[in-house]
């Protein structure tokens, strides 16, 4: 028996179908997106947005089941040693680092045109584009996100005190603020005076703010799951990695929005700079 005993502190996961199924779902989703954007008929029909539904359904199903298995490993099997927990934290930190570089690309594209490095842009925003007022809905959304950072910190304090029930309420409040943010951003998009295809300003604006909105959506789902986990008492004062990951992700989303608000909406949003001529 001793020869079969675990001789290391790391967690060796059981065989799982989710990596393969998730990869397949991502492939189906990518193919569906290509067909959708190119308006390619499928089986002689033009089903529109439904081309991406099969792949998206597989990806979402994989996420739910994989997340369930990881929670089971930690809460029921107690398989996550301190070394495993350290690896999970490090993985989340590296993931957020990759997300930072993801947004750097959007800011780079925006600054390249706004600061006059592009010889094709003589005015920013280009003529005919009326930018959104920074101190209207964008400012309200800034207040909402900053407030959500405070409520999430409040939840963290209660988790470290071992009060999961109170922490769950603050987590749900944070998720509700995230939902409110998304609602106001959707309202902003609907009432914007320019569309995605109307030039370099709309394309960089919608890609940067739109992908940020997608990250807020992901963070809201992440926090909602953590809220239900806290309500079930899954977290302890000394071990709450799932919540830590969600908190790190949410604070990252807050910081990205501050950059967006300052540069995209406020300083370089209004037509304050012209080049050439």
Indicate the pairing of strand 123-124 with strand 273-274: antiparallel
DSSP output for 71-83: HHHHHTS----HH
Please choose, from the candidates 225, 109, 119, 104, the residue with its C-alpha nearest in 3D space to the C-alpha of residue 174.
225
Read off the pLDDT of residues 175-213 as tens digits, 9 standing for 90 and up: 999 999 999 999 999 999 899 888 889 999 999 999 999
| pLDDT interval class at 2 (50, 70, 90) | very low
By the 8 A CB rule, do 270 and 133 touch? no
| pLDDT interval class at 271 (50, 70, 90) | low
- Three-state secondary structure call for residue 125: coil
- Indicate whether 244 pLDDT > 60: yes
Average the pLDDT over 141-156 and give the result. Answer: 97
Q: Token pair of 232, please?
A: 């079930």
Read off the pLDDT of residues 221-234 as tens digits, 9 standing for 90 and up: 999 999 999 999 99
Helix (H) or strand (E) holding 124: strand 123-124
- Where do the domains of the chain lie, and which CATH numbers do they carry? 1-79 (1.10.287.70), 81-274 (1.20.120.80)
The upper half-sphere exposure of residue 166, i.e. CA atoms within 13 Å in the direction of its Cβ, equals 11
In the chain, DSSP finds a helix count (H) and a strand count (E) of: 7, 2
| pLDDT interval class at 23 (50, 70, 90) | very high
- Three-state secondary structure call for residue 45: strand
Q: What is the spatial distance between Cα 178 and Cα 68, in angstroms, rounded to a whole number?
A: 23
By the 8 A CB rule, do 235 and 164 touch? yes
By the 8 A CB rule, do 233 and 162 touch? no
pLDDT number for residue 39: 82
Asked whether the bond before 125 is cis by omega within 30 degrees of 0, the reply is: yes
By the 8 A CB rule, do 84 and 22 touch? no
Please choose, from the candidates 247, 239, 244, the residue with its C-alpha nearest in 3D space to the C-alpha of residue 89.
244
Model pTM score:
0.86
Residue 258: C-alpha distances to residues 55, 101, 263, 266 (Å): 33, 16, 8, 10
By the 8 A CB rule, do 166 and 157 touch? no
By the 8 A CB rule, do 178 and 219 touch? yes
pLDDT number for residue 3: 46
- Indicate whether 266 pLDDT > 50: yes
Q: What is the spatial distance between Cα 274 and Cα 277, in angstroms, rounded to a whole number?
A: 9
Residues contacting 89, CB < 8 A, separation 6+: 241, 244, 245
Longest dimension (CA), the chain: 83
Measured at the CA of 77, the angle between CA 73 and CA 81, to 5 degrees, comes to 75
């Amino acid at each position: 028996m001793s020869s079969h005993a675990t001789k290391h502190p790391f967690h060796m996961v059981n065989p799982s179908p989710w990596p393969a199924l998730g990869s397949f779902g991502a492939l189906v989703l990518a193919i569906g997106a290509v067909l959708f954007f190119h308006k390619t008929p499928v089986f002689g029909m033009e089903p529109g947005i439904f081309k991406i539904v099969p792949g998206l359904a597989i990806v979402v199903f994989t996420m739910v089941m994989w997340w369930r298995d990881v929670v089971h490993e930690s809460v029921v099997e107690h398989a996550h040693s301190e070394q495993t927990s350290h690896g999970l934290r490090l993985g989340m930190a590296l993931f957020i680092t990759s997300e930072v570089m993801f947004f750097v690309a959007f800011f780079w594209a925006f600054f390249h045109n706004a600061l006059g490095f592009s010889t094709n842009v003589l005015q920013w925003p280009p003529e005919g584009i009326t930018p959104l007022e920074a101190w209207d809905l964008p400012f309200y959304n800034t207040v909402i996100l900053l407030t959500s950072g405070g409520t999430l910190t409040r939840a963290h304090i209660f988790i470290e005190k071992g009060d999961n029930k109170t922490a769950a309420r603050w987590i749900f409040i944070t998720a509700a603020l995230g939902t409110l943010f998304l609602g106001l951003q959707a309202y902003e998009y609907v009432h914007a005076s320019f569309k995605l295809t109307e030039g370099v300003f709309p394309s960089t604006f919608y890609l940067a703010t739109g992908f940020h909105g997608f990250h807020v959506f992901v963070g809201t789902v992440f926090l909602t799951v953590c809220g239900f986990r806290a309500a079930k008492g899954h977290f302890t004062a000394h071990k709450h990695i799932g919540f830590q990951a969600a908190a790190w992700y949410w604070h990252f989303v807050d910081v990205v929005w501050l950059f967006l608000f300052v540069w995209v909406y406020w300083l370089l949003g209004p037509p304050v700079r012209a080049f050439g001529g």
